[in-house]
Amino acid sequence: MPIILPAILVLLTTGYPESSAKLDVVAAVQLLAKPGVLVAAFVLFCYIALEASFCNWLPSFGKEVLKKENDAIEDTAADASGQRLLSFFAIAMMVGRLATGLLPAKTGFDLTANGGFVIAAAAVVIAIVIYLMMGCAKGAMANILAALAGLAFAPCFPTTVGVTFSKFNSDVHGSIFGIIFAVGLAGAVIVPKMMGNAAKGASIQKSLKLLLPACVILIVLAIIMGQLKGVAG
């Protein structure tokens, strides 16, 4: 307690630093009429639906694959190996996000101008990974596919935000982020639940096919998003 008391006193007396980018509810509603915001919101809906589905069901997928490879494996060992898939996925995404942030500056690649195509290409890779996961029967291959998925997912979220922000004045960035993120989070609620329902009486591997339409829609929307012109805030 004596250690954290000074920090508490500083916060109480000075307050938190204020950000210039705040959520304006009225502006957020008005911004829904802007194609750049609406398309970005549905891009995030598809992306977050895919990411949340992977985070929710990768361990179960891994367990299914291991059981298919070795029927005699104990449940505890299969569960532990399945959980490790999340680690491969998360580490690969972390590396991919770092590369997304550093490589454009070092290579001269304009990520903002080409962001729509980058996201579309990532969605193609994600679709291929999902297709391979549906027929995967080896634990080692499952680990590789989880890592590839993490790398493919990595640029999608920050690139969507960056491309969208580039089309509007900075004074509405807070409102834009609030609305596109809120719509995106709906994907995390709906699609993983649909996968779980589809897996009842079947398997997670078979229910993965539900994610393929989201990939196709993401490809189309990402290309549209990249082609939209900037507008005044």
Residue 10 domain-assigned (yes or no): no
Q: What is the pLDDT of residues 211-229, one digit of tens each?
A: 999 999 999 999 999 999 8
Rounded alpha-carbon distances, angstroms, from residue 6 to 17, 100, 149: 18, 38, 44
Residue 31 domain-assigned (yes or no): yes
Spell out the residues 6+ positions from residue 227 whose beta carbon is closer than 8 angstroms to its own. 116
Question: CATH number, domain at 43?
Answer: 1.20.1250.20
Q: What is the pLDDT of residues 128-162, one digit of tens each?
A: 999 999 999 898 999 999 999 999 999 999 999 99
pTM above 0.85, yes or no: no
**Mean pLDDT lowest among 20-34, 65-79, 168-182:** 20-34
**Mean pLDDT lowest among 6-15, 55-64, 174-183, 200-209:** 6-15
Residue 185 domain-assigned (yes or no): yes
Residue 176 one-letter amino acid: I
Residue 13 domain-assigned (yes or no): no
For the CA atoms of the chain, what is the radius of gyration? Answer: 20
Residue 111 has pLDDT above 70, yes or no: yes
Residue 4 domain-assigned (yes or no): no
Q: What is the pLDDT of residues 23-43, one digit of tens each?
A: 556 666 778 788 999 999 999
Per the model's pLDDT, the better-predicted residue between 24 and 168 turns out to be: 168
Residue 45 one-letter amino acid: F
Please tell me the total count of domains within the chain: 1
The percent of residues above 90 in pLDDT, for the chain, comes to 55
Residue 163 has pLDDT above 90, yes or no: yes
- Domain containing 220: what range? 21-227
Residue 190 domain-assigned (yes or no): yes
- What does the pLDDT read at residue 31? 82
SS in 3 state form for 78-108? HHHHHHHHHHHHHHHHHHHHHHHHHHHHHHC
Residue 91 domain-assigned (yes or no): yes
Residue 89 domain-assigned (yes or no): yes
